[in-house]
Chains A and B, each alone.
Chain A
Amino acid sequence: MKILVTVKEVATVEDEFEIDGTEIDERFLGADLNEWDDYAIEEAVQLQEAGVADEVVTVTIGPEECEQTIRQALAKGADRALRVWDDDLEGVSLLDVGAKTDILQAVVDREEPDLVLTGVQSGDDSWGATGVSLADAIGFQWAAVVNDLDLDGDTASVHRELEGGVEELTDVSLPAVLTIQTGINEPRYASLRGIRMAQRKDLDYLTLADLGVDSSAVEGDLTLTDMYEPETETDVTIFEGGADETAAALAELLREKGVAP
């Protein structure tokens, strides 16, 4: 069995930041492996270690700088990686679900995996939709928000985490796309040995043309027109001063509220 895992490098934002047009000014941005994808990688690698999967391949849409993050996935045990990027993608301010679906569909056509794992959502633009959209495009079965997975032959028995502490137990036939929720496993840290080995693994770079995807596909249907800091809804009272002062003020408040002695 071959597993394809979508791996995204997400932008992280510092505590204090400035917005420049419809973007956060680069000076305030960092980069990290998408939290949900980390769990998807771990799940795939565990299936490989259990002898269920023969190969784990990752795919990332992103510029060259992402390769650090991709190496992280390789260091955790993925066998090889694909990275898709070109000038047309460089110019897109908002890569919407439809555009991602078109690109990933072409990757699936090329790799022909039996199982695709994606994160439930990405920490930056949080569409939460790419996995299910992809599944429909490639004609796979699917399940969204999976926090438990058991593979048996052609069936994936999963738990879908619903709201309010309820889980749905579902059997999904393969091939399938599963969107993986945090907590399904305990993602490993990349070991030094893993990091060394990752340097020798294949990381293929592909353009849209290589994948046969028309560049108009990535223009997408959505335009990002504004970005701003949300207005505060409540009038929060901020306790000012050093820790001793703020703690004293909070203690007084708590006593007023009848909490604690």
Chain B
Amino acid sequence: MSDVLAIADHRRGELRDVSYEIITAGLELADETGGDLHVAVISGPVEEFAEKLNRTGVDAVHTVAHGEEFNHDVYVQAITQLHDAVSPQYLLAPNSVNGLDYAPAVANRLGLPLVTDAVGLETDGETLIATREMYGGKVETTTELEGRAVATIRGAEWSVAEGTGDAAIEAFDAEIDESAIGSTVTGFEEVGGGDVDISEADVLVSVGRGIDEEENLELIEELADALDATVSSSRPIVDAGWLPKNRQVGQSGKVVTPDVYIAIGISGAVQHVAGMKGSDTIVAINTDPNAPIMDIADYAIHDDLFDVVPALIEQFQ
């Protein structure tokens, strides 16, 4: 029982990056257990996906043709059947929104322990040691578990697997009980649009929950004016309705790559960082010297934004 089974992620006909990262994570574990790496891809153009997933080191790619898009009931049934067939020690899924919509159910159905959002995985063949974050990234932890397990991995933590492998590509004949399908996807909707495209901006002045009240946004707009920059924000500002959705930077918002990103009163939660880590220069203004944003900032001021921002505006007048 030492093989690894990794599940690919895709949407609207495209494999998502985490599909290649999970191969790397899987190869590392398979190396440590001395087992094989199996990759599975469910729904969509599975043949075409399988060719792409056949990267160096992959031993087998299992395809389950069933419908075009993700449906968690199909995934849960297909994966539990694959699990019985392959009998892996570790089952890996992405910690994506869809991963979180099936992996906990798969773990429950198989009676296996579950560890989510791992940023590191190690095993000696018996014990799985997972590194995770807690308290919004303020601390890192290790958790251990014995025997078989299901783990979901955070995106962009492992490198993308390269090369072409010589995997056996096999169609897996999963028996999908249609009567057990309790939800139906009826469509997709793009959110956003609107006046400004923050992904085009060279300079972003981005504001987070540290701003406290809607009225205080004026201060940020004043700074943006002085710098000829565009205002963007973390999620809570949009949730509160203080800025429109098209200003949200992050996993569920926009990915931005400006020359300069000034994060004001933003902690740097992983879902926020996912949208702005590609910025050339990152400046953080935050009272908390331990805020996770400090891990990716190039420059930082550990001080109250209500002192620093007015002083900064003055510098440009």
A131 to B104, CA, bound (A): 8
CB pair A132–B104 under 8 Å, yes or no, is: yes
Q: Is A251 touching B184 in the complex (CB atoms < 8 A)?
A: no
Query: A15-B287, A233-B295 known; A162 and B11 CB under 8 Å?
Result: yes
Is A63 part of the binding interface, using a Cβ–Cβ cutoff of 8 Å? no
* B56 beta carbon closer than 8 Å to chain A: no
User: Is A58 at the interface (CB under 8 A from chain B)?
Assistant: no
Q: Min CB distance, A135 to chain B, in Å?
A: 7
Contact, CB under 8 Å: B307 / A243: yes
Q: Closest Cβ of chain B: how far from A193's Cβ, in Å?
A: 24
Contact segment of A64-72, A83-91, A141-149, A197-205: A141-149
Would you mind naming 13 contact pairs between A and B with Cβ atoms under 8 Å apart? A15-B290, A125-B134, A126-B136, A129-B116, A133-B108, A142-B101, A144-B101, A164-B251, A165-B191, A170-B186, A232-B294, A238-B299, A251-B315
Q: Which of B105, B288, B300 contacts A239 (CB 8 A)?
A: B300
Given A15-B287, A236-B298, A260-B227: A223 and B144 interface contact (C-beta under 8 Å): yes
State the CA gap A17–B139 with chains docked (Å).
Answer: 10
Q: Are the CB atoms of B137 and A230 closer together than 8 Å?
A: yes
Residues in A neighbouring B308, C-beta threshold 8 A: 243, 246-247, 250
Binds B, one of A44-52, A95-103, A206-214: A95-103
Q: How far is the CA of A19 from the CA of B141 in the complex (A)?
A: 11
By a CB distance below 8 angstroms, the chain A residues around B59 are none
Is B182 within 8 A of A222, CB to CB? no
B143 and A163 form a contact (CB under 8 A): no
B25-33, B36-44, B162-170, B234-242 - the one binding chain A: B234-242
Greatest chain B CB density within 10 A among A11, A96, A167, A183 is at: A183
Q: Could you say which residues of chain B place their CB within 8 Å of the CB of A171?
A: 183-184, 186
Whether the pair A172, B298 counts as a contact (CB closer than 8 A) is no
Q: Closest 4 interchain pairs by CB?
A: A221-B113, A247-B311, A141-B182, A251-B315
Please, which residues of chain B bring their CB within 8 A of the CB of A176? 182
Q: Given the complex, which residues of B lie within 8 Å of A94, measured CB to CB? A: 143
Q: How far is the CA of A250 from the CA of B183 in the complex (A)?
A: 52
Residue A109, interface by CB 8 Å: no
Asked if A169 is an interface residue, CB under 8 A from chain B, the answer is yes
Does A237 make an interface contact (CB < 8 A)? yes
The A contact surface, by secondary structure, is mixed
Is the C-beta of A153 less than 8 angstroms from some C-beta in chain B? no
Give the residue of B105, B135, B299 whose beta carbon is less than 8 angstroms from that of A124: B135
Q: Bound state CA distance, A236 and B102, in angstroms? A: 38
The minimal Cβ–Cβ distance linking B54 to chain A, given in whole angstroms, is: 25
Q: Which residues on A sit within 8 Å (CB–CB) of B146?
A: 221
Asked whether, in the complex, the Cβ of B188 is within 8 Å of the Cβ of A166, the reply is yes
Instruction: Say yes or no: is A225 at the interface (Cβ < 8 Å to chain B).
Output: yes
Question: Out of A97, A131, A220, which one reaches B107, CB within 8 Å?
Answer: A97
A136-B100 CB under 8 A given contacts A126-B134, A226-B142, A251-B315? no
Proximity string of chain B (218-255) to chain A, C-beta cutoff 8 Å, 1 when within and 0 when not: 00000000111100000110111100010000011111
Which residues of chain B come closer than 8 Å to A226, judged between CB atoms?
141-142
Are A132 and B302 CB-contacts (below 8 A) given A22-B141, A254-B227? no
Residues A169 and B143 in contact, CB atoms below 8 Å apart: no
Q: Is the CB of A243 within 8 A of B140?
A: no
A159 in contact (CB, < 8 A)? yes
Within 8 Å by CB of A145, from B97, B117, B236, lies B97
Instruction: State in angstroms the CA–CA spacing of A194 and B77 once bound together.
Output: 45
Q: Judge whether A136 and B255 touch: CB under 8 Å.
A: no
A237: chain B residues at CB < 8 Å are: 298-300
CA distance A228 to B120 in the complex (A): 14
Assembled-state Cα–Cα distance A127/B95 (Å): 10
Pair A98/B114 contact, Cβ less than 8 Å: yes
Q: How many angstroms from the CA of A165 to the CA of B246 in the assembled complex?
A: 9
Which single member of B107, B253, B288 contacts A165 (CB below 8 Å)? B253
A128 contacts the other chain (Cβ, under 8 Å)? yes
Given A126-B133, A224-B143 in contact, is the A250-B299 Cβ separation under 8 Å? yes
Q: Tell me the minimal C-beta distance from A156 to chain B in angstroms.
A: 9
Note all chain A residues with C-beta closer than 8 A to B298. 234, 236-237
Flag whether A259 is at the interface (Cβ < 8 A).
yes
Task: Point out the residues of chain A lying under 8 angstroms from B182, CB to CB.
Answer: 141, 172-173, 176
Contacting pair B184 A129 (CB below 8 A): no
Question: Are A222 and B143 in contact, CB atoms less than 8 angstroms apart?
Answer: yes
Tell me the bound Cα distance from A157 to B182 in angstroms.
Answer: 12
Contact of B259 with A by CB under 8 A: yes
- Alpha-carbon distance A248/B308, docked complex (angstroms): 10
Asked if A243 and B228 make an inter-chain contact with CB atoms under 8 angstroms apart, the answer reads no
Cβ of B281 under 8 Å from chain A: yes
When A133-B104, A225-B144, A251-B315 are in contact, do A97 and B114 touch as well, CB less than 8 Å?
yes
Complex Cα–Cα for A125 and B296 (A): 22
How many whole Å from B51's CB to the nearest CB in chain A? Answer: 24
Query: Is B301 engaged at the interface, CB distance under 8 Å to the other chain?
Result: yes
**Quick one: given A15-B287, A170-B183, are A232 and B104 in contact (CB under 8 Å)?**
no
**Chain A residues with CB below 8 A from B137, complex form:** 230
Determine the distance from Cα of A257 to Cα of B129 in the docked complex, in whole angstroms: 43
Q: Tell which of A96, A136, A186 has the most Cβ of chain B within 10 Å.
A: A136
CB-contacts of B74-103 with A (<8 A): 76, 95-98, 100-103
CB neighbors of A among B105-150 (8 A): 105, 107-109, 113-117, 129, 133-146, 149
